[in-house]
Amino acid sequence: MDSILDKKLRDIGIELNSRQLEKFDKYYELLIEWNKVMNLTGITEYEEVIEKHFVDSLALVKVCELNDIHTLIDVGTGAGFPGIPLKIAFPHIRVTLLDSLNKRIKFLNHVTNELELKDVCTIHGRAEDYARQEEYRESYDLGVSRAVANLATLSEYCLPYVRTGGLFISYKSGDIDEEIKDSEKAVQVLSGRVEDVVKFQLPGTDIHRSFVKINKVKKCSMKYPRKAGLPGKEPIK
């Protein structure tokens, strides 16, 4: 099994040792086991999980030098994507996983224990609430999200967590141009600036993906994020 994962990761320029590859296999087993009793993913075939979850999560190397990242928050992490794959491949990063569903957090705690991952913090709650707490606000080198929401909403969820000079990178599908245009005001208001948009195809698939790379250029106004629910219902325009 390792050879499939190993080969696909080499296609995006990542080489892992046998211990790291074992952790990915164990993660897959836990995902499938827990998925029987709770809805974590609709993708369960081994090779599909590798492509659409593991490789997709780690494709972040196309837009960010992860060896320079020390603290990362994954907002709306769900079953742990992209945060846990990034932690396995880049163990030096201190990772925070935030999700609004407590049962997912229980799964993530189990995964981090089983895989013996150090410096992983899990938070059960709304992104809007924790972004106002001093411990988390503007304290991360990198914010990431694969959550399904428009870019304006995701920017309000994520940019308040990122330090000045840090990055927010959103994982998106291939067709992103209009969404970026619609989010220009929100990104600016939240003290961000779109630095780059990288479009690519997942190796060996016909899946088109995009990364939107946003620089945090100054501190974010304390007006943001607005109260829980508003960023989703009324994105900044």
Residue 158: what are its φ and ψ, rounded to 5°? Answer: -100, -40
- Confidence (pTM): 0.96
Kindly report, residue by residue over 84-108, the tens digit of the pLDDT: 999 999 999 999 999 999 999 999 9
> What is the C-alpha to C-alpha distance for residues 70 and 3, in angstroms, rounded to an integer?
29
Cα end-to-end span (Å), the chain: 47
- In the chain the domains, ranked by start, together with CATH numbers, are 2-233 (3.40.50.150)
Does residue 132 surpass a pLDDT of 50? yes
